[in-house]
């Protein structure tokens, strides 16, 4: 996702984005605070492509096929913090 827009978005902070969402009546949807980057200083932004894990990894294979470069695959694992379900192999 190399574009002037992505360059501008990469400099925005979470508080700024949340404030803009609230002021424009856009739902604020951020990852839970327990989510941490793999390495310090890592940033992630782009169009979210959500998928819900319900037992089979087939849903992930379908999601990978639909993702485009720059998309962020967001996996709802029902609040479970253990189990990467292959994401660690694809990231």
Element (H, E) at 14: helix 14-23
The upper half-sphere exposure of residue 77, i.e. CA atoms within 13 Å in the direction of its Cβ, equals: 17
52 phi, psi to nearest 5 deg? -105, 125
Per residue in 2-59, pLDDT tens?
678 777 877 888 888 889 889 999 888 777 777 777 778 777 777 888 888 877 778 8
- Whole-number pLDDT of residue 51: 85
Mean pLDDT of the 67-87 span: 73
Residue 61, pLDDT > 80, answer yes
- Whole-number pLDDT of residue 23: 94
The predicted model scores a pTM of: 0.57
- Whole-number pLDDT of residue 18: 86
Residue 88, pLDDT > 70, answer no
Tokens (6 digits) for 22? 């609230």
β-partners of residue 72 are 48
């Amino acid at each position: 996702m190399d574009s002037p827009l992505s360059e501008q978005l990469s400099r925005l902070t979470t508080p700024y984005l949340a404030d803009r969402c609230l002021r424009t009546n856009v739902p604020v949807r951020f990852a839970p605070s327990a989510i941490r980057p793999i390495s310090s200083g890592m940033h992630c932004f782009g169009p979210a492509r959500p998928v819900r894990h319900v037992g089979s990894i087939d849903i992930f294979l379908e999601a990978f096929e639909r993702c485009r470069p720059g998309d962020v695959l967001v996996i709802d694992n029902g609040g479970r913090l253990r189990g990467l379900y292959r994401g660690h192999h694809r990231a």
